[in-house]
Amino acid sequence: MKNKIAILFTIAALMTACGTTKQAAKPDTTSQSATTTTSTVNTAETIIATLGGWQTMQTGGNIKLNAGSSFSSSIQVRMVRDEAIFISLRPVLGIEVGKLIITADSLYAVDKVHKRYLAEKVSILTSGIPVTVSDVQDIFLGRPFILGNGTLNEGNKNAVTAEKQGNGIVLTAEKQYKGYGYAFAFDKNNRITSLNIVPAGSTAPAYQVKYSGVRSTTAGNIAHDINVDATVDKKKVAFSLEFKNIDWNGKVKIDKNIPSGYKRMNARDLFSMFSN
C-alpha cells in the first residue's frame, strides 16, 4: 500500500519538494537553435487565447509509477477550480483503496487497506513556497501559471518573458521563487509541451513535466497525457498520467469523510510513504 499512496503524494509534492536558500536561477531553455526574445505581450496573448474557463472537472484515467519498483492503477480525478483536488486510487476492479484530497488549507489522505488517515494543514507539503491549489490544478491540466498568482491571463501576462525556441516558444516567469526557476514550453501550435523546474546553480531540471495529447476542450487546450520525472527524498521517481474524456462544469463530489474506526497517522508518516 505504501507505493500506491506514494503515487498520490508524489503528484501533490511536485511543486513543493525542491526548496533551497540560494539565489534562483532561470531554467536553461537553450537548444541548438538560437533563441530570440519576442514581444512578451503578443506571445503571451497567443497562449492566453488557448485557455478557456472552467469551474469543475471530473475524469477517469490511469497512472503508472516507477520508483525502484513499478506500479499501475486506474484513478478517478475530480476538481473544483481554486478550491479542491480529489484523487481516488482504484487498482483492481474499480475498488477504491486510497484517496487524497487537497484544499486551499488542508490535506487529507485515507489508506483503506490499513485503515488509517491523515488530516493536516497543507503547509506540510508547501514548506513556505506560495504554491496554491490552482497551481497544482494547472500542472495536472497543462496550463501555464504564475506561482501564487493564478493561471496566465490578461491581468498577469506582463509577469512573464517569452522567447522563441525552434518552432515554438518558452514562457518564463520574471519573478522566480528562491531556490529554483520554472518555465513552460509550447510548440508552434501553442500547445504546451513541458514544464521544467530547475534548482539554483543547476542546468538539469529537478522536475520535468512533459505534456502530450493536448486537445481543445471547453476549458481550452488541455493535456491528456502527462509524464513526470522527479527526485523525491533523493530518489528518482517517474510517473505518467493518462486522462480519459474529461467532463466539465458538472456536479462533483469531494468526499472528505474519514471512515469510523480509522487510526490517525502522524505527519511524518506522509513522507515515509515514499520509501519502498
DSSP category for residue 174: S
Q: What is the pLDDT of residue 30?
A: 40
**Residue 276, number of CB atoms within 10 A of its CB:** 9
Residues of the chain with pLDDT > 70: what percent? 72
User: Looking at the 3D structure of the chain, how many domains does it have?
Assistant: 1
Q: What is the pLDDT of residue 274?
A: 38
pLDDT tens digits, 17-32: 333 323 334 444 443 3
Q: How far apart are CA 166 and CA 260, in angstroms?
A: 56
User: Is 97 contained in some domain?
Assistant: yes
Q: Which domain holds residue 171?
A: 2-269
User: Is 274 contained in some domain?
Assistant: no
User: Is 53 contained in some domain?
Assistant: yes
Phi and psi dihedrals of 222, rounded to 5? -130, 130
Partners of residue 72 on adjacent β-strands: 64
| CATH code, domain with 171 | 2.50.20.10
User: Is 43 contained in some domain?
Assistant: yes
Q: What is the pLDDT of residue 204?
A: 66
Task: Give start and end residues of each alpha helix (H) in 92-209.
Answer: 123-126, 133-141
Residue 150, exposed/middle/buried by CB under 10 A (0-12, 13-18, 19+)? middle
Measured CA distances, 101 to 186, 192, 248 (Å): 30, 26, 19
Q: What is the pLDDT of residue 23?
A: 34
Q: What is the pLDDT of residue 205?
A: 62
Per-residue pLDDT of the chain (276 residues; tens, 9 = 90+): 444 444 444 454 443 433 332 333 444 444 333 333 444 444 789 999 999 999 999 999 998 877 666 777 899 999 999 999 999 988 888 888 888 899 988 888 888 888 889 888 877 666 666 778 898 899 999 999 998 889 999 999 999 999 988 889 999 888 877 767 889 999 999 999 999 887 777 766 667 889 999 999 999 999 999 998 776 667 777 888 999 989 999 999 998 888 899 999 876 665 444 333
Contact 25, 180 (CB under 8 A): yes
> Where are any strands of DSSP class E within the chain?
36-37, 56-66, 70-80, 84-90, 98-103, 106-111, 116-121, 160-165, 168-173, 180-186, 192-199, 207-217, 220-232, 235-243, 247-248, 263-264
User: Is 276 contained in some domain?
Assistant: no
The answer to whether the pTM exceeds 0.85 is no
pLDDT tens digits, 97-155: 888 899 988 888 888 888 889 888 877 666 666 778 898 899 999 999 998 889 999 99
User: Is 275 contained in some domain?
Assistant: no
DSSP one-letter string for 245-263: PPEESS------PPPTTPE
Task: Give start and end residues of each alpha helix (H) in the chain.
Answer: 2-12, 40-48, 123-126, 133-141, 267-272
Q: What is the pLDDT of residue 22?
A: 34
Q: How far apart are CA 184 and CA 191, in angstroms?
A: 10
* Cα angle: 224, vertex 212, 142; to 5 degrees: 65
User: Is 208 contained in some domain?
Assistant: yes
Question: What's the maximum distance between 2 C-alpha atoms anywhere in the chain?
Answer: 61
Q: What is the pLDDT of residue 118?
A: 87
